[in-house]
Amino acid sequence: MRFGFPGQVRIFLAGGVVLSSLLIALAIPARAGVSMIYPEPGTSVGDSRHLVLKLGNTELTSVVVAVNGVASDPLPVGTVEYRRAFRDFLILQPLWDKGKNHLTVDTFVGDKKQESFTADIYYAPKGETLDVPKEFRPAVMHRPEADELCVPCHNMKPSMKQVIDVPDKDNACYSCHKRMANQKYVHGPVGTYSCAYCHVLQGTPLYATPKRDTKLCYGCHQEKEKELKGYKFLHGPVAAGMCEICHDSHGSDYPAQLRMPINKLCLSCHEQIATSIHVTTLGGGESHPLADRTDPSDRGKGRELSCVSCHDAHGGKARYYFVTGNDNKMELCQMCHKK
Ligand code: HEC
Ligand code: HEC
Ligand code: HEC
Ligand code: HEC
Ligand code: HEC
Ligand code: HEC
Ligand code: HEC
Ligand code: HEC
User: What would the mean pLDDT of 197-225 be, rounded to a whole number?
Assistant: 96
Residue with CA at minimum distance from ligand 6 atom 23: 320
Whose CA is closest to 178, among 14, 46, 36, 317? 14
Quote the pLDDT of residue 256: 97
- Angle (nearest 5°) at CA 153 between 149 and 154: 85
What are 274-303's pLDDT values in tens digits?
A: 999 999 999 889 999 999 999 999 999 999
**Range 177-198 average pLDDT:** 93
Q: Of all atoms in ligand 3, which is nearest to the CA of residue 220? A: 1
Ligand 1 mutation target, pool 37, 154, 168, 195, most atoms within 8 A of CB? 154
Output the average pLDDT for the chain. Answer: 88
Residue 258 has pLDDT above 80, yes or no: yes
- Answer for the pair 167, 227: CB distance below 8 angstroms, yes or no: no
Residue 263 Cα: closest atom of ligand 6? 37
Residues lining ligand 8, Cβ inside 6 A: 279-280, 282, 288-289, 293, 295-297, 305, 309-310, 329, 332-333, 335-337
Q: Is residue 15 scored above 50 in pLDDT? A: no
pLDDT tens for 35-68 read 999 999 999 999 888 999 999 988 999 999 999 9
Q: Burial level of 163, CB count in 10 A (0-12/13-18/19+)?
A: buried
pLDDT score for 31: 54
The angle subtended at Cα 187 by Cα 227 and Cα 302, nearest 5°, is 70
CB 51 within 8 A of CB 39: yes
Q: Is the CB of 256 under 6 A from ligand 5?
A: yes
Stretch 95-124: mean pLDDT: 95
Residue 254 in this model has a pLDDT that exceeds 50? yes
Q: Is 186 in the pocket of ligand 5 (CB under 6 A)?
A: no
Query: What is the torsion angle, in degrees rounded to the nearest 10, for the CA atoms of residue 199, residue 202, residue 207 and residue 209?
Result: -50
pLDDT of residue 30: 46
Instruction: Compute the distance from residue 175 Cα to the ligand 1 centre, in Å.
Output: 7
- The answer, yes or no, to whether residue 29 has pLDDT greater than 70, is no
Residue 241: per-residue pLDDT: 97
pLDDT above 50 (res 8): no
- Cα–Cα distance between 339 and 197 in angstroms, integer? 50
- Residue 304: the pLDDT is 96
With a 6 Å cutoff on the Cβ, whether 273 touches ligand 7 is yes
Give the CA angle between residues 47, 168, 199 to the nearest 5°: 50
- The answer on pLDDT for 23 being more than 60 is no
